[in-house]
Structure 1
Amino acid sequence: MPNLRVSALFLVFTLAACGAPADRYLVEPSAPPEPIALRIASLEVGEVVVPAYAEASEILKESETGALEVVDSAEWADGSARAVTAALARSLDLRTRADVAAEPWPLTEPAAARLEVRIESVVARADGTFQISGQFAVASPEGRIREFLDRFDISVALDGEGPAAIARANGRALDMLADQIALRLRR
C-alpha cells in the first residue's frame, strides 16, 4: 500500500506542476478590397528570419522596464519562422494578382522573383503599440525586374489588452509589410 500512496502523490504533484494548458492564438492576414497588379507574375517568399525570442511559442510583451515578459497562459498557435513566412506569403497572395507561395516553390516554372525578409524586432511595446522592423530584399535571378533592398519599421496600435489584441496587431503589421512590399513591386 505505501507504494500505491507514493505513486498517487507523485501523480497529483505531476499534474499540478503541469498547470492549465495555454490558449493558442493565430496570426491571420486580412483580404484587401482590390488586389493590385505587380511587375512580376510570380513571387517566392523565402523563410523569414526572426529574432531568437520570436521563435518561442510564448507570446511576449514589453514591460515598463523594457524587459520582454511572457503573457500568462498564452501561446502562438505556431510561433515559428515558417508560420510568419506562411502568413506573409498568404497576405501578399491576397493583396496582389501575382502567384505567391512560400518556399519551396511548388510550380515547375521558377518564380519570377524571390523575396527575403529579415525581421530584427517584433514586439508588443509597453506604450500600447506592436512593432516589427527589419529589411526585405527582392532578387530576380533571371533579371525580370531590377533587384532591390528596403528597410521597414511598422507600428500599429494595440486595439485592447491581452494576447488576442497582440495577435490581431501582429496580423495587421504583417499586412502592412505585405502592402509595403507590394507597392514596391507595383507596375
Structure 2
Amino acid sequence: MPKRLLALLVLSISALAACGGPPPQRVAIPKADIADKQRISYRTVELREVSLPSYAAAEEIYIADESGLLNSREGLLWADDPSRAITLEISRHLAQVTGAQVASEPWPFEERAQATVEIRVEDILAQSDGTFRLAGQYFVSTETGRDRARLFDLSVPIDGMDTVAGIAQARGQAVRNLVVEIARSGLR
C-alpha cells in the first residue's frame, strides 16, 4: 500500500509540474556608462525612491498596443523590482555624469545631502510605434532654497521591437537620457 501511495504521489507531482510550463525568464537592463559629463552646483545628492505607475512597478513587461491597451509579455519578467532597479540605475548614472556623491534613500552619510531629487514617473513603456516612452516629473530640493520642478517626456527608438533585448536597451537609454536632463536642468 505505501508503495502505491508513493507512486501515485510521484505521478501527481510530475503531472502538476508538466502543467506549469517553463519558468519565466528574467530580463536585466544592460549596463552602460554615460559619456556626457555635467558640472552641477552640489557635491552631494540624495535620490528618493522613484515612483512608478502600478503597471510599471510590477515585474511583468508591458507594451502598449495601437489602441493604447497595455499587454504583458507572457513568461517574461524584469530581473529586479522595477522601482528599486530604476532608483539604483539613476543613482549610479547621476554619480557618473556629475562626479557628485550620489546615493538613494535612506541617505547613508552623516552630513545631509546638499540636494534631494524626487522622480515621479507617469509613463514608462514600449509603444506600438517602435519607441520607448519615459514621461513624468522630477523635483529638486536644496539647502539653498533653489527648488525646482520640471516635466519630462522622453522617447527612444527600440531596435528590434519584437525583442525583449531591444525593449530593455531602449528603457536603459531613456533612463540615461533622463539623468542627463536632470543634471543639466535640475542640478545646476
* TM-score of the aligned structures, taking structure 2 as reference length: 0.90
Moved over 4 A (4+): none
After superposition, what is the alpha-carbon deviation per residue over 1:94-143, rounded to whole angstroms, capped at 9, x for unaligned? Answer: 11121111111121111101000000111111111100110000011x22
The more displaced of 126-135 and 8-17 is 8-17
Equivalent in the alignment of 1:136 = 138
Contact 1:45 1:114 (8 Å CA) reproduced: yes
Tell me by how many angstroms 1:186 deviates. Answer: 5.5
Equivalent in the alignment of 2:53 = 51
Paired residues, number? 185
Secondary structure of 1:154's aligned partner? strand
Say whether 1:32 aligns with 2:34: yes
Equivalent in the alignment of 2:175 = 174
- Supply the distance in 2 between the matched residues of 1:171 and 1:138 (Cα, whole angstroms): 22
Contact 1:28 1:87 (8 Å CA) reproduced: no
- Select the residue among 74, 81, 105 that pairs with 1:72: 74
Unpaired runs of at least 5, structure 2: none
The more displaced of 78-87 and 167-176 is 78-87
Q: How does 1:136-175 map to 2 (within 5 A)?
A: 136-140=138-142, 142-143=143-144, 146-160=146-160, 161-175=162-176
The more displaced of 118-127 and 54-63 is 54-63
Say whether 1:12 aligns with 2:14: yes
- Supply the distance in 1 between the matched residues of 2:22 and 2:88 (Cα, whole angstroms): 29
- Supply the distance in 1 between the matched residues of 2:46 and 2:79 (Cα, whole angstroms): 24
- Supply the distance in 2 between the matched residues of 1:174 and 1:80 (Cα, whole angstroms): 12
Secondary structure of 2:146's aligned partner? coil
Matched AA of 2:96 = L
Matched AA of 1:183 = R
Percent identical among aligned pairs is: 36
Matched AA of 1:38 = I
- Select the residue among 122, 125, 128 that pairs with 1:123: 125
Contact 1:49 1:119 (8 Å CA) reproduced: yes
Tell me by how many angstroms 1:184 deviates. Answer: 1.1
Contact 2:34 2:176 (8 Å CA) reproduced: no
* TM-score of the aligned structures, taking structure 1 as reference length: 0.91
After superposition, what is the alpha-carbon deviation per residue over 1:38-75, rounded to whole angstroms, capped at 9, x for unaligned? Answer: 01111100001001111111111122332211213221
After superposition, what is the alpha-carbon deviation per residue over 1:137-164, rounded to whole angstroms, capped at 9, x for unaligned? Answer: 0011x22x51000000011000112211
Equivalent in the alignment of 1:88 = 90
Unpaired runs of at least 5, structure 1: none
Over aligned residues, Cα RMSD in angstroms? 1.7
After superposition, what is the alpha-carbon deviation per residue over 1:151-185, rounded to whole angstroms, capped at 9, x for unaligned? Answer: 00011000112211111111000001001000014
Secondary structure of 1:104's aligned partner? coil
